[in-house]
Amino acid sequence: MAHVNVFDTTLRDGEQSAGVNLNRLEKIEIAKQLERLGVDVMEAGFPASSQDDFEAVKEIANTVRGCSVTGLARAHRKDIDRAWEALKGGAEPRIHIFLATSPIHMTHKLKKTPDEVVETAVEMVSYAKEKFPIVQWSAEDACRSDLDFLVHIIEKVIDAGASVINLPDTVGYTTPDEYGKMFRYVTENVPNIDKVILSAHCHNDLGMAVSNSLAAIENGARQIEGTINGIGERAGNAAIEEIGVALEIRKDRYDYQTNLVLKEIKRTSDLVSRLTGMMVPGNKAVVGRNAFAHESGIHQDGVLKESTTYEIITPSMVGIDSNRMVLGKHSGRHAFKEKVKEFGFELNESKLKEAFESFKNLTGKKKEVTDDDLFAILTDTQTEHDNLPKYKLQAFQVQYGSINRPTATILLTQPNGEEAEKANTGEGSVEAIYNTLDDLIEGDVHLIDYQLSSIGRGRDALAEVHVQLTVNGEKASGRGSAQDVLEASAHAFLNAVNRTLYREQQKVYQKAQV
Ligand SMILES: CC(=O)SCCNC(=O)CCNC(=O)[C@H](O)C(C)(C)COP(=O)(O)OP(=O)(O)OC[C@H]1O[C@@H](n2cnc3c(N)ncnc32)[C@H](O)[C@@H]1OP(=O)(O)O
Ligand SMILES: CC(C)C(=O)C(=O)O
Ligand SMILES: [Mg+2]
């Protein structure tokens, strides 16, 4: 099995993401985590670009011992000198010099002829080699370069002392087939190519960075460059976690290994996301919030029966505790039943049906039904007495205006099964509801205490109301939850009244037993 080095450039190309600016301490924290992740080389920055970057690269080089630390430099003596000052204390000082080789870059940006570019590259690699034991040279914009020119310049820089040659797809233009062929061509045509490691560095402008990196490996690359979460210039770089997991999951096809500790992926991803402020999209491969989440009933049923039906990666492999069954509009009974069990409830068939209906009802109103919501539904269903005569809210309407007295109209099923409707007013909407319920309920009911809280957060969080009443002089408490505060208030009131009804019936039953 061939070994592929992982070269992480989160702290250099990743930091080039528009809007990202890491301070020294943040860079060091990420560097320590990259070491834990098992990368072989980390590019800590571009020392000549600023004093801050210089300090960060220096501190990382002097601290990290588990992998090689490198820094970027243009083909300029002063960039190379600065890089040496920053990196010389490292375990294995290594420099990364780049110079563009495509006609577009040479003509318009560098304003140099191809011969001048070869001359500069050779001169700078030789100069760097006087200081650094390892010199990596990159042919910037390699994919839009003339292949025979690439072969020529690569041969020269190897002779000048480069030990790693990187062929970047700087603008994310290439396809896997083309990128693979470029590596093959270079391998077959550069006479001294066996003296170096070939490296792939892909950008994601056309969404092919990971596929291109894998194609490069299959065609001779023994180092892949990328970033955590795929952050980087423009649309980003190849995501290292995706390449690492693809090599592992498809080892039937890719006979290569890396030193990556896959279990560290989740933590690394979280840390990079938090410190850079680059949020990971929910559907991002391997580390997205939904990467191990199942919402549709058929998938949930399949995964509950056998996880491999719909999961090709085990969450624990990348440091995620477990998959997630998201209960939502598309979920079915199997997953719901499982959640009921997980929460420790034992519902009989009719209660299970009732709870499932309440849940499905809620999915029509809320984007995501959270565990807290579900817990509330299940607690309500579990603690509701079956088949007992009770008051049940059928429908209600509240009219509220800043200048009118609020009015509630309520339709209720009574314990005898008949329906009754009434309307009344109050100082506020809740009081209007309670006054109306009072009119509809037999007996003397007084509200002693009312408390409102929300279950979970966000605009669509469920409301939970707890009340204390006296019903015919007896204290009773009640609880109700609903998406609407007024509906939760009505449920809580009726819940307390129904509890006193239940107590009455228990007393009658106990007397009959005696
Ligand atoms: C593909 C990549 O990701 S390359 C890395 C890109 N990263 C960055 O640019 C981030 C850090 N960069 C910086 O802080 C600044 O650009 C600096 C400090 C490096 C240079 O700043 P300035 O001196 O103001 O130059 P500026 O950035 O405007 O222009 C770049 C200059 O470098 C030259 N240049 C570009 N690449 C190279 C190279 N590989 N070797 C030598 N010179 C180069 C350009 O031709 C231009 O030269 P000119 O001034 O003679 O026209
Ligand atoms: C500096 C080089 C390697 C680079 O980032 C690129 O070409 O994308
Ligand atoms: Mg790049």
Q: How do residues 341-354 score in pLDDT, each as one tens digit? A: 988 888 899 889 99
Q: Please answer whether residues 333 and 298 qualify as being in contact, where contact means their C-beta atoms are separated by less than 8 angstroms.
A: no
Same domain, 470 and 348: no
305: in domain:
yes
Q: How do residues 252-282 score in pLDDT, each as one tens digit? A: 999 999 999 999 999 999 999 999 999 999 9
Q: Please answer whether residues 172 and 135 qualify as being in contact, where contact means their C-beta atoms are separated by less than 8 angstroms.
A: no
Segment 20-36 mean pLDDT = 94
Q: Label residue 243 by pLDDT band (50, 70, 90).
A: very high
Final residue in a domain of this structure, among 356, 382, 408: 382
- Residues sharing a CB contact under 8 Å with residue 310, sequence separation 6 or more, in sequence order: 294, 299, 302, 303
Q: Please answer whether residues 302 and 310 qualify as being in contact, where contact means their C-beta atoms are separated by less than 8 angstroms.
A: yes
**From 136-145, 148-157, 192-201, 440-449, the region with the lowest mean pLDDT:** 440-449
The answer to the question of whether 201 is labelled as a binding residue is yes
233 lines ligand 1 (CB under 6 A): yes
Q: Residues lining ligand 3 (ion), CB within 5 A?
A: 13
82 lines ligand 1 (CB under 6 A): no
The two tokens of residue 186 are: 């270079």
434: in domain:
yes
Ligand 1 atom having least distance to the Cα of 140: 1
Mean of the per-residue pLDDT values of the chain: 94
Nearest alpha carbon to residue 278 among 25, 24, 17: 17
- The Cα 198–Cα 222 span in angstroms is 6
Q: Is 273 helix (H, G, I), strand (E, B) or coil?
A: helix
Final residue in a domain of this structure, among 326, 356, 382: 382
404: in domain:
yes
Final residue in a domain of this structure, among 276, 305, 334: 276
Same domain, 60 and 206: yes
Same domain, 449 and 316: no
Task: Indicate which residue's Cα is closest to atom 5 of ligand 2.
Answer: 13
49 lines ligand 1 (CB under 6 A): yes
74 lines ligand 2 (CB under 6 A): no
What are the distances in angstroms from CA 165 to CA 75, 151, 178, 183, 478?
Answer: 15, 11, 18, 11, 73
- The Cα 261–Cα 263 span in angstroms is 6
Q: Please give the helix or strand (H or E) that residue 100 lies within, else none.
A: strand 94-100
**Reduced 3-state DSSP string for 1-25:** CEECEEEECCCCCHHHCCCCCCCHH
Same domain, 201 and 91: yes
Same domain, 333 and 470: no
Ligand 1 atom having least distance to the Cα of 124: 40
CATH code where residue 230 lies: 3.20.20.70
Same domain, 46 and 10: yes
Question: Is the pLDDT reported for residue 507 higher than 80?
Answer: no
* Residue 20 Cα to ligand 1 middle (Å): 18
Segment 57-76 mean pLDDT = 97
**What is the pLDDT at residue 51?**
95
Ligand 1 atom having least distance to the Cα of 233: 3
- The Cα 53–Cα 87 span in angstroms is 12
Question: Is the pLDDT reported for residue 388 higher than 80?
Answer: no
Number of domains within the chain: 3
Segment 356-363 mean pLDDT = 90
- The Cα 18–Cα 22 span in angstroms is 12
> Does residue 511 or residue 120 have the better pLDDT?
120
Same domain, 312 and 213: no
ipTM: 0.98
Same domain, 339 and 403: no
Segment 490-512 mean pLDDT = 84
* Residue 55 Cα to ligand 1 middle (Å): 19
Same domain, 372 and 493: no
**Reduced 3-state DSSP string for 160-186:** HCCCEEEEEECCCCCCHHHHHHHHHHH
CATH code where residue 441 lies: 3.30.160.270
76 lines ligand 1 (CB under 6 A): yes
**Dihedrals φ, ψ of 304, to 5°?**
-65, -35
Q: Is 425 helix (H, G, I), strand (E, B) or coil?
A: strand
> Does residue 286 or residue 381 have the better pLDDT?
286
Segment 347-369 mean pLDDT = 87
Sign of CA dihedral 504, 432, 376, 358: positive
Same domain, 207 and 347: no
282: in domain:
no
201: in domain:
yes
**Dihedrals φ, ψ of 480, to 5°?**
-150, 140
Q: Please answer whether residues 9 and 225 qualify as being in contact, where contact means their C-beta atoms are separated by less than 8 angstroms.
A: yes
285: in domain:
no
The answer to the question of whether 330 is labelled as a binding residue is no
- Residues sharing a CB contact under 8 Å with residue 231, sequence separation 6 or more, in sequence order: 10, 14, 17, 20, 237, 272, 276, 278
The answer to the question of whether 237 is labelled as a binding residue is yes
The two tokens of residue 189 are: 């045509």
Q: Is 361 helix (H, G, I), strand (E, B) or coil?
A: helix
Question: Is the pLDDT reported for residue 386 higher than 70?
Answer: no
Task: Indicate which residue's Cα is closest to atom 47 of ligand 1.
Answer: 110
Residue type, 427: E
Same domain, 226 and 320: no
- Residues sharing a CB contact under 8 Å with residue 361, sequence separation 6 or more, in sequence order: none
Task: Indicate which residue's Cα is closest to atom 4 of ligand 2.
Answer: 170
Q: How do residues 210-224 score in pLDDT, each as one tens digit? A: 999 999 999 999 999
301-333 per-residue burial string, b: 16 or more CB within 10 A, e: under 16 = bbbeeebeeebebebeebbbeebebbbbeebee
Supply the pTM of this predicted model: 0.83
**Dihedrals φ, ψ of 414, to 5°?**
-95, 165
Q: pLDDT exceeding 70 applies to what percent of the chain?
A: 99
70 lines ligand 2 (CB under 6 A): no
Question: Is the pLDDT reported for residue 29 higher than 80?
Answer: yes
- The Cα 224–Cα 4 span in angstroms is 7
**From 270-279, 313-322, 474-483, the region with the lowest mean pLDDT:** 474-483
- Ligand with smallest separation from the Cα of 237: 3
- The Cα 469–Cα 448 span in angstroms is 5
Domain that holds residue 23: 2-276
Segment 418-444 mean pLDDT = 96
The two tokens of residue 23 are: 């301070």
Q: Please answer whether residues 216 and 210 qualify as being in contact, where contact means their C-beta atoms are separated by less than 8 angstroms.
A: no
Q: Label residue 381 by pLDDT band (50, 70, 90).
A: confident
Mutate to test the pocket of ligand 1, among 20, 21, 49 (most ligand atoms within 8 A of CB): 49
287: in domain:
no
Ligand 2 atom having least distance to the Cα of 140: 7
Segment 93-103 mean pLDDT = 98
* Residue 90 Cα to ligand 3 middle (Å): 23
Q: Please answer whether residues 433 and 408 qualify as being in contact, where contact means their C-beta atoms are separated by less than 8 angstroms.
A: yes
The two tokens of residue 295 are: 């919402």
- The Cα 210–Cα 216 span in angstroms is 10
Same domain, 145 and 200: yes
Return the ∠ at Cα 310 (arms to 306 and 315), rounded to 5°.
85
Q: Label residue 437 by pLDDT band (50, 70, 90).
A: very high
Q: Please answer whether residues 39 and 30 qualify as being in contact, where contact means their C-beta atoms are separated by less than 8 angstroms.
A: no
The answer to the question of whether 62 is labelled as a binding residue is no
286: in domain:
no
Partner residues linked to 160 by β-bridges: none
43 lines ligand 2 (CB under 6 A): no
* Residue 263 Cα to ligand 3 middle (Å): 26
* Residue 112 Cα to ligand 1 middle (Å): 15
